[in-house]
Structure 1
Amino acid sequence: MTPPRCVYALFPWFCRACACGLAVALAGLFGFLLYRGLGTLGPSLLFGEADPWRAMWLRVAVMEGLWPACLGTLGLLGLTCLFAVPVGIAAGVCLAEYATGRTKAGLTFCVDLLASIPSVLMGLFGFTLVLFLRRTILPAANTCLLLAAGCLALLVLPYLVSATQKSLESLPQSLRLIGPSLGLGHGRTIRHILLPAAARSILAGVILAVGRAAEDTAVILLTGVVANAGAPAGLTGKFEALPFTIYYLAAQYQTPQELDRGFGAAIVLLALTGSLFAGAHLLHATLRRRWRDCP
């Protein structure tokens, strides 16, 4: 049965309404967040009663501010990207350009299976790994920043693999023929032609992975984050992070002012991740201009 013509006429308006509804919902969410947390923004939110300049250089301890959580979040994201980005891009290149047949199907299934694992199970994996190490070869093993970053890297790895694989596979065949026509081997064609052409889509996968890692709480809750741990003392120490701080303030607040500090922490987290995204886009624009200007 063919739908009436009015359905086709209303479909574009339905799509526009859905897009506008999403924008309105996002604006409402940000508006409520700013309404509750904007009044808490200031040096005291980040540094408490400590001197901001000395606290930024870790010369004094910050007991009531968010600065240690900001440092812990940045360190956690940096380590996660260090572990996940090279491996994810390399695995995506392997699936798109080298793997074939059953090998490709099996590896793709493993990536999809890894993507379906809930974050709480990844945190339990990290916690169980610590227990295993304690009873075998490393009795002093404990939850720490390094363990949390490793578990987060496993959590976001499928995003990077899939983004790299799909961006390379979507390139036109005419672009793939440029390298052989210039006498380049397959590896140099990937390095000098295909990867630069797919860089925008790959960067989108990196941004998605960073956002996923920045907001996760379940993994770090079981692998090393604690309240009032202070600035990260090392890779094997405890740490604070903004997602856990927001969760802790929302669950344990005693006064409305403490809850408002949780909303302020959420604004700080959004500003931090937004700055990372802006930096990634700026890097992509710079690299794109450099590739375009190359003779």
Structure 2
Amino acid sequence: MQYSLYKVVLAIFTISAICLVYTLLGFVLIKGFNTISLELIFQDTNVLDAILLKQRVFDGIFPAIVGTLMLILLSLSFSFIFGFASGIYLSIYANKKLKEYINFCFELLSSVPSILIGLFFLLLSIYLHEKFLTNFLPSLFLSSLALALLIMPYIVKNTQYALDNIPKHIKLLSLNLGLCKTKNLFLVLIPYCSKELLSGVFLALGRACEDTAVIMLTGAVASVGIASSIFSKYEALPFYIYYISTNYGDETELNQAFSAALILLVISMSLFLVTKLIQQRVKRKNGYY
């Protein structure tokens, strides 16, 4: 009887959590779907000319969409390179004391508020601009580095966890057959846990899509068009949503923020599905399905 009661209580909390998620998604969908249109994205600009970058979009959110995609891809690239390497080192090469210390550092980093990371990179850009690089200003590159630092702990811990949880006989089999430690890592261990390694990208992807505090301080602006290079200021959907929701003049403008949020949600889900497909393809290719 007591066990059944616990089961019912847990089921209620689970269903409540699912309902909250779908309520949130439904609210954004209802508020944003009615005002989403090509005019919102491109305004008076020809759609094909805008996509081919032949004509600038002035009032639409197309530059913010492009800027968001560039920001996500750059920050994921930086964080994956450093996070993946750090996770491998912690799992395979670091001794126990060093591993504990480095893990503590990454746990501390994961607990740092994003606004502090944004402030640090803003001050770093000011210092470098005044002392060494006069052309170094808040930009897409700086925002990508700041976001990469913010999401790197997720990738580090996931990589370390995936490698640590490989069965011992898998780890030792190729070593016993004559492979060196490095070849065993890249030819056996990483392919074996490739699905789990890509799971870290899922976690990092969501954080890279949504953070506003970091990009607000390091290069995102309300209206500048598509960034001409990674060292230019840029537009991004999270900042656009923040800007409109704090400066709207009527309900129509507020609904435009919901439309932008819906587009951001679609981008996030699309990238998630692409990563999921890559994950499944890698797993099939390695023969673990």
TM-score normalised per structure 2: 0.97
Residue of structure 2 equivalent to 1:190 = 185
Residue of structure 2 equivalent to 1:216 = 211
Name the CA distance, whole Å, in 2 between partners of 1:64 and 1:229.
Answer: 10
- Of 54, 72, 76, which residue of structure 1 is paired with 2:67? 72
CA offset digits 1:65-84 (Å, max 9, x no partner): 11100100111111111211
Name the CA distance, whole Å, in 2 between partners of 1:31 and 1:140.
Answer: 45
- Of 235, 256, 264, which residue of structure 2 is paired with 1:261? 256
- Of 153, 156, 162, which residue of structure 1 is paired with 2:157? 162
Name the CA distance, whole Å, in 1 between partners of 2:186 and 2:148.
Answer: 24
Please report how far the alpha carbon of residue 285 of structure 1 lies from its aligned counterpart in structure 2 after TM superposition.
Answer: 1.2
Residue of structure 2 equivalent to 1:50 = 45
Please report how far the alpha carbon of residue 134 of structure 1 lies from its aligned counterpart in structure 2 after TM superposition.
Answer: 2.1
Is this contact kept in 2: 1:225–1:239, CA < 8 A?
A: yes
Residue of structure 1 equivalent to 2:93 = 98
> Do residues 173 (structure 1) and 168 (structure 2) align?
yes
Q: Quick one: structure 1 residues 88 and 265, their matched pair in 2 at CA, closer, same or farther if it must change by over 3 Å?
A: same
Name the CA distance, whole Å, in 2 between partners of 1:120 and 1:293.
Answer: 42
CA offset digits 1:158-185 (Å, max 9, x no partner): 0000000011111111111221132111
Residue of structure 2 equivalent to 1:36 = 31
Please report how far the alpha carbon of residue 140 of structure 1 lies from its aligned counterpart in structure 2 after TM superposition.
Answer: 2.8
Residue of structure 1 equivalent to 2:267 = 272
Is this contact kept in 2: 1:179–1:186, CA < 8 A?
A: no
Name the CA distance, whole Å, in 2 between partners of 1:85 and 1:31.
Answer: 32
Structure 1 unpaired stretches of 5+:
1-5
Name the CA distance, whole Å, in 2 between partners of 1:266 and 1:29.
Answer: 12
Amino acid paired to 2:43: G
Residue of structure 1 equivalent to 2:240 = 245
Paired residues in the alignment total 289
State, as a whole percentage, how many aligned pairs show the same letter: 36
Of 188-197 and 245-254, the range deviating more from structure 2: 188-197
Amino acid paired to 2:162: S
Please report how far the alpha carbon of residue 9 of structure 1 lies from its aligned counterpart in structure 2 after TM superposition.
Answer: 2.1
Residue of structure 1 equivalent to 2:2 = 7
Amino acid paired to 1:142: L
Is this contact kept in 2: 1:207–1:277, CA < 8 A?
A: yes
- Of 138, 142, 155, which residue of structure 1 is paired with 2:133? 138
Structure 2 unpaired stretches of 5+:
none
Name the CA distance, whole Å, in 1 between partners of 2:124 and 2:41.
Answer: 34
TM-score normalised per structure 1: 0.95
> Do residues 108 (structure 1) and 91 (structure 2) align?
no
2:87 aligned counterpart, secondary structure: helix
- Any residues of structure 2 matched to 1:225-244 within 5 Å, and which? 225-244=220-239
